[in-house]
Amino acid sequence: MKAGTKLKSAVCDTEIMVIKAVPDGVAECGGAAMVAERGVSSDLDPAFSSGTIMGKRYVDDSGTVELLCIKPGKGSLALNGVALKVKDAKPLPSSD
């Protein structure tokens, strides 16, 4: 997985673009590894079914990986089996 790669979910409509990557990381959606081209679909894992939101960035706890959702779907994103969370927006500076 490298920055700039577009990946598609094998279990739902989710599509992502890799913004920041780790060399040995495997992006997953809905409990299945993401692929470059859709082929045979598998079943959505209920543990990873909270969905994705278009335009949101997903990161791991350490900030080593960042994925941009470019098409939403029913599966949730994970890296090597660990769920990713939505990246919070930076707060604007105070105008005081």
pLDDT score of 37: 87
For residue 23, give the H/E element and its range: none
Which candidate, 31, 91, 90, 20, places its Cα nearest to that of 59? 20
Contact 41, 10 (CB under 8 A): yes
pLDDT score of 40: 67
What gap in Å lies between CA 14 and CA 28, rounded to an integer?
A: 10
Spans of the chain below 70 pLDDT:
40
